[in-house]
């Protein structure tokens, strides 16, 4: 696998991920490329519902230096409607099958909150990570399932659910409350033996524009959890609304935010635009 080794220095738990026995070193921040097997993602540049499109998009990302491909089949944009488990798997399966055939050893994450979907894609396609927008709150079986699967688990904070999360987000202190949420979720996971955990504060998921920027400004507070930190901020409304533009025009703003997040401790960037993110990481490494 690309940039992997099972030898070398002893990695601390917040600077590595164990992907099927191979260690991904996070001392260099990594880039996760978004592949949406859905027709209704908020940014149309990430939509690749057909296997051939997914292969083309993945190949482009790999050539640009991506480290992980993150495949999702359910739109979670504000106001989106839930689809059935059957439909989610019908969208995921042909894309994952095509990606596995074309790039058999490349790290693949699946973006799902359903335990049954996580089990199926691990068994059928040997995916290496699960990316759960609900941190186990939407499916009580997700935590024990992740303990059984034994693969890294990305947990994200979300207030509410995608259909209603932006109706009226309210916090007394958004940073403190999100930190407390993760402390409780990580403790429950640790009791089940799940230790390979990545933290994502959930920019845009049940937060106002001001709350999102409070999280960005204090992103380094999450380092106290001593786990890898991921940021999914690419082309989101907190970028384009602040700049009075649209998602198609939000690359420059996303890149500026990515550098700020790297400076505050992000180890993973989940992005639509791999080339720009990889270049941002290279500049970050040169100055830090």
Which residues are identified as catalytic? 236, 270
Contact 233, 254 (CB under 8 A): yes
Q: Are strands 108-111 and 68-72 parallel, antiparallel or unpaired?
A: parallel
Tokens 């209704």, residue located: 40
Close Cβ partners of 175 (under 8 Å, ≥ 6 residues apart): 214, 215, 218, 221
Terminal-to-terminal C-alpha distance of the chain: 26
User: Which own/partner pairs from 219-226 qualify as long-range (CB within 8 Å, at least 24 positions apart)?
Assistant: 219/260, 219/261, 219/264, 219/265, 219/266, 220/264, 220/265, 221/175, 221/179, 222/179, 222/182, 222/265, 223/14, 223/265, 224/179, 225/179, 225/182, 225/183, 225/186, 225/199, 226/13, 226/14
SS3 16: strand
| Nearest Cα residue to 46 out of 75, 18, 67, 25 | 75
Radius of gyration, alpha carbons of the chain: 17
C-alpha distances in angstroms, 28 versus 83, 165, 254?
A: 36, 33, 20
Residues 222 and 201: beta-carbon distance below 8 Å: yes
């Amino acid at each position: 696998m690309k940039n992997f080794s099972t030898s070398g220095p002893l990695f601390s738990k917040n600077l590595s991920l164990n992907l099927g026995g191979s260690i991904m070193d996070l001392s260099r921040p990594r880039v996760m490329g978004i592949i949406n097997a859905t027709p209704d993602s908020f940014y149309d540049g990430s939509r690749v519902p057909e296997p051939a499109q997914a292969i083309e998009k993945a190949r482009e990302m790999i050539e640009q230096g991506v480290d992980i491909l993150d495949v999702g089949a359910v739109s979670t944009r504000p106001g989106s409607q839930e689809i059935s488990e059957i439909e989610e798997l019908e969208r995921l399966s042909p894309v994952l099958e095509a990606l596995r055939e074309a790039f058999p050893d490349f790290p693949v994450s699946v973006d799902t909150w359903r335990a049954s979907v996580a089990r199926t894609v691990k068994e059928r396609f040997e995916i290496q990570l699960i990316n759960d927008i609900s941190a186990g709150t939407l499916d009580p079986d997700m935590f024990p399932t992740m303990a059984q699967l034994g693969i890294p688990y990305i947990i994200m904070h979300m207030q509410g659910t995608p259909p209603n999360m932006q109706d009226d987000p309210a916090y007394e202190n958004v940073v403190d409350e999100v930190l407390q949420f993760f402390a409780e979720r990580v403790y429950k996971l640790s009791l089940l033996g799940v230790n390979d955990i990545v933290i994502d504060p959930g920019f845009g998921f049940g937060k106002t524009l001001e709350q999102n920027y409070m999280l960005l400004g204090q992103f380094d507070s999450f380092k106290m959890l001593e786990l890898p930190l991921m940021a999914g901020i690419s082309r989101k409304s907190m970028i384009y609304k602040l700049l009075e533009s649209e998602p198609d025009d939000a690359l420059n703003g996303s890149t500026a935010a990515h550098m700020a997040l790297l400076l505050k401790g992000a180890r993973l960037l989940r992005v639509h635009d791999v080339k720009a993110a990889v270049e941002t990481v290279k500049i970050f490494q040169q100055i830090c």
